[in-house]
Amino acid sequence: MDNARVIFRQRKQETVEGRKVDAWADYYTAWADLPSQSMTERVEIQNRGLVDAVTLEVRTCCRVEEIRRNQKQFRVMFRGVDYDLIGADYSRRRSGFIRFLASRAD
């Protein structure tokens, strides 16, 4: 199982020249394991037509719980590429970890 450093980024709205613009600010940096995708995740990726989907497994803490509850407000940067969070659930194999399914943000 590979692992990598990931950065969770939070959406912030800023006003630039009178217009609201979304900006992304770093929220939390963590180590993530990169487990192989389960059959259910593969089916979901295929059904949704997701591009460059990855599965990240991160140790649970209060910040990760906040990310899990408000996924629409967060994205993750992995190896220099931004990914939108698609789904999250607790890992069935390892207690104390959360699995995030993410797809490349365009």
pLDDT in the model for residue 39: 72
- Determine how many CB atoms are found less than 10 A away from the CB of residue 24: 16
Answer whether residue 50 shows pLDDT above 70: yes
d(CA 27, CA 30): 10
The torsion angle over the Cα atoms of residues 14, 79, 41 and 3, rounded to 10 degrees, is -130
What's the chain's average pLDDT? Answer: 87
Least reliable range by pLDDT among 43-52, 54-63, 79-88: 43-52
Name the residue type at position 49: G
